[in-house]
Amino acid sequence: MDLSGKVAIVTGSGRGLGLAYATALAAAGAAVVVNDIDADVAEAAAAEIVAAGGQAVAVAAAVGSSETAQQLVDTAVTSFGRLDVLVANAGVLRDKVLWKMTDEDFDLVTQVHLKGTFTCARAAVVRMKEQGEGGRLILIGSPAGQYGNFGQTNYAAAKAGIVTFAKVWAMELSRDKITANAVVPVAATAMTATVPFLKPYVDALEAGEPMPEFARRELAFGTPDDVAGLVVFLASDASAGVNGQAIGIGGDRLSLYSHPDQIVKEYASGGWSADAIAEAWDDKFAPSQQSVGEKLPTPPSA
C-alpha cells in the first residue's frame, strides 16, 4: 500500500494505538503530524518515525478545542503542503458508575473524544474541500460504543456518537470525495490493561509471551500493530468505495458492524395504548429484546 505524497494527522499518537497508526502510515509513505498532550512523548514519537526513514512533525496539545484542531491542520500544511487524512484517535478514560460520575468526569471524556473528533474533522474537512482532491476521515470508536460497558457512561456515549459522525459525514462529504469511516479496535494498551478480563493477556504480552489463539480469534485481541493495517487501508485510494462504515479489527479478526435497524414491527389500528403495548409485549417483542454489554466467550481454561 503506497501512501507517498499523502499527509496525515493522527491525534493522540504518542503512545499505544495512535503511535501504531502513525508509524504504519509513515512506513507506507505518508508524512505524519504526531500529536500528544505530553510534549516529550510527542517529540519522541515523531523522532522515532523519522529515525526509521519516515516524515513526521510533533504537535503537543490537548485535543478538544477548535484552536488545537486548527493548529494541527496548519502544521500539516506548513510542514508538508497539504492534508489528506485525519485519524481522530485521542482519548482519555474516567470510568465510574453513573451515580458516582462527576460533571468533570463526563465533560473531560466527551470533550476529548466527541468534541475533539468534531473539531478536528471540521478543520480537516475545510482544508480538504479547499484542495478539491478528496480525503479520508478515520474515526476511532470502541466496542463500548457499540454495546455499552459497565462504568463507562461518558466513554461509551462518546464512542457511539463518533460512529454516528461517520454515518452523517459520509452523506455530507461524498460529493467532495471525502470518506468517513469508524474503526472499532481491540488491542493491548494501557487502556485495555484496566479491563480485568483482558489484563492477563496484556500482562502476558508485556512479558514477551505470545498471545493465545483464543484471545486473537475469539476476543479479537492482539497488539496495536494488528490494528494499524486497517487504518493504512482506509487512508489509501483503495478504500474510495468504503464510506460510512463501522469496521472492527483486533488480533486475527476483521469485521463489519451492522447499522441499527428495527427488528420487530407490529401495527395497531388507531395507535398503541399503554394497555395494548403491555398485552403485546411479552409475545411479540420480548423474545427479540437486545442484550446489553459485549458478551465475551469463556476462556478454554475456565
Q: Could you tell me which of 211, 173, 175 has the C-alpha nearest to residue 192?
A: 211
Q: What angle do CA 205, 148, 171 make, to 5 degrees?
A: 100
Q: Judge whether 155 counts as a catalytic residue.
A: yes
> Among positive and negative, which fits the CA dihedral 187, 160, 42, 49?
positive
Round to whole Å and give the CA distance between 251 and 253: 6
The packing angle between helices 16-27 and 39-51, to 10°, is 30
Round to whole Å and give the CA distance between 23 and 270: 60
Q: Which of 155, 201, 257, 267 is catalytic?
A: 155
CB atoms within 10 A of CB 187: 24
Q: Could you tell me which of 32, 81, 82 has the C-alpha nearest to residue 54?
A: 32
Q: At 164, is the secondary structure helix, strand, or coil?
A: helix
DSSP run (H or E) holding 229: helix 224-235
The one-letter amino acid code at 88 reads A
Q: Which residues on adjacent β-strands are paired with residue 56?
A: 32
> What φ, ψ does residue 197 adopt, rounded to 5°?
-65, -35
Given a contact cutoff of 8 angstroms between Cβ atoms, the answer to whether 139 and 166 are in contact is: yes
Round to whole Å and give the CA distance between 222 and 250: 6
Q: Could you tell me which of 169, 120, 101 has the C-alpha nearest to residue 11?
A: 120
Give how far the C-alpha of residue 101 lies from the chain's centroid of Cα atoms, to the nearest Å: 23
- Catalytic positions are 155
